[in-house]
A = this chain, B = another copy of it.
């Protein structure tokens, strides 16, 4: 099992359903790196096309992995060491496989299936355990991944849902990432 995560800032949807670029949020990097490290994901790729935004993410990483942040909270260096900052998804595919996109299992997450076929968490968990290619799970910022990215995926994970219908399904990307990792890699023996 080789699993990595990508936090996508472009192309993602805005409220009106238009493709936009979103800004980097400091706590996304911390929370998703800590969750990745806790569950054993190899890398967390932060995907942003704007050089100044990538430089911001690199500065956050360096502060915690090499700088004074490491002295204050050593655990955080271990987590943020999983972070890689790249301009595009194509660069991420290239970092994971010499074959690029063809060498990577690309899986998407979304709050709604929008009519496309989705795969249950139980089946996704089984496929992850058996995957021969590196697996990359994409998380969208803003109002989520664009339809083109979702259509291009090798697997679309079913939306996260509560057992009871609450009429509300708006988790933060930090929460959705944590739950996805727990459902795919968490201890199920005692988890009910």
**A interface vs B, CB < 8 Å?**
15, 27, 30-31, 34-35, 37-40, 73, 75-76, 78-79, 120-126, 158, 160-164, 166, 168-172, 174-179, 182-192
Contact = CB atoms under 8 A, between A and B. Distances in A.
A175 B35 contact: yes
A93 to B, nearest CB: 25
Contact of A192 (B122, B169, B170, B178): B122
Max chain B Cβ within 10 angstroms of own Cβ: one of A79, A161, A163, A183: A163
In the complex, the count of this chain's copies comes to 2
B125 A38 contact: no
Per DSSP, chain A at the interface is: helix
A160 B39 CA distance: 10
A31 B172 contact: yes
Contacts of A160: 38, 182, 186-187
B38 A166 contact: yes
A192 B120 CA distance: 8
Contact of A121 (B78, B174, B192): B192
B164 A40 contact: yes
Contacts of A169: 38
A175 B122 contact: no
B186 A162 contact: yes
A126 B191 CA distance: 11
Contact of A170 (B27, B79, B174, B185): B79
Contacts of A126: 192
Given A37-B168, A75-B170, 15 more contacts: A30-B172, A34-B171, A38-B169, A38-B170, A40-B162, A40-B164, A75-B168, A79-B168, A122-B190, A123-B192, A161-B187, A175-B175, A179-B179, A179-B186, A184-B192
Max chain B Cβ within 10 angstroms of own Cβ: one of A38, A170, A174: A38
